[in-house]
């Protein structure tokens, strides 16, 4: 029976495998760092969006509060010289069929 002799790996092949594996490791580590940076940026954007939504809701509430009749009436009467109408305007109802007959 013959004894198999294992061929030794040459120094060139060893260095080639070493550089290739180092390149693959650098590639994957760089991708992990890039993904982490994107996750941080995404988190910051979500925080900004939530802050803006909160501010928007506060402004909507303030608009609703300031646009009530009690807040508008003094400005309209004093600064713009508008008056309350004593008589309500009459409503006029027109049927669609009457409009079609006019055409």
Tell me, yes or no, whether 21 lies in a domain.
yes
Residue 95 lies in a domain: yes
pTM exceeds 0.75 for this model: no
The answer to the question of residue 61 being in a domain is yes
Structural domain includes residue 87: yes
Which range marks the domain in which residue 76 is found?
A: 11-102
State the Cα–Cα distance between residues 69 and 75, nearest whole angstrom. Answer: 10
83 Cβ contact partners less than 8 Å away, ≥ 6 residues apart: 77
pLDDT at 1: 63
The pLDDT profile of the chain, 103 residues, written as one tens digit per residue, is 677 777 788 999 999 999 999 999 999 999 999 999 999 999 999 999 999 999 999 999 999 988 888 888 888 888 888 877 777 778 888 888 888 887 6
Cα 82 versus chain centre, distance: 43
The answer to whether residue 4 is domain-embedded is: no
Three-state SS sequence of 71-89: HHHHHHHHCCCCCCCCCCC
Residue 5 included in any domain: no
Looking at the 3D structure of the chain, how many domains does it have?
Answer: 1
Instruction: For residue 6, tell me if it sits in a domain.
Output: no
pLDDT at 23: 97
Residues 83, 77: contact at Cβ < 8 Å?
A: yes
Q: Is residue 17 part of a domain?
A: yes
Residues in the chain: 103
Q: What is the pLDDT of residue 76?
A: 83
């Amino acid at each position: 029976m013959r004894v198999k002799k294992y061929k030794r790996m040459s120094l060139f092949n060893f260095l080639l495998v070493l550089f290739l594996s180092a390149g693959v490791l650098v590639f994957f580590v760089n991708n992990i760092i890039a993904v982490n940076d994107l996750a941080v940026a995404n988190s910051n954007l979500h925080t900004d969006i939530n802050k803006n939504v909160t501010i928007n809701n506060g402004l909507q509430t303030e608009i609703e509060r300031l646009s009530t009749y009690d807040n508008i009436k003094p400005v309209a009467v004093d600064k713009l010289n508008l008056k309350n109408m004593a008589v309500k305007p009459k409503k006029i109802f027109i049927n669609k069929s009457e409009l079609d007959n006019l055409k």
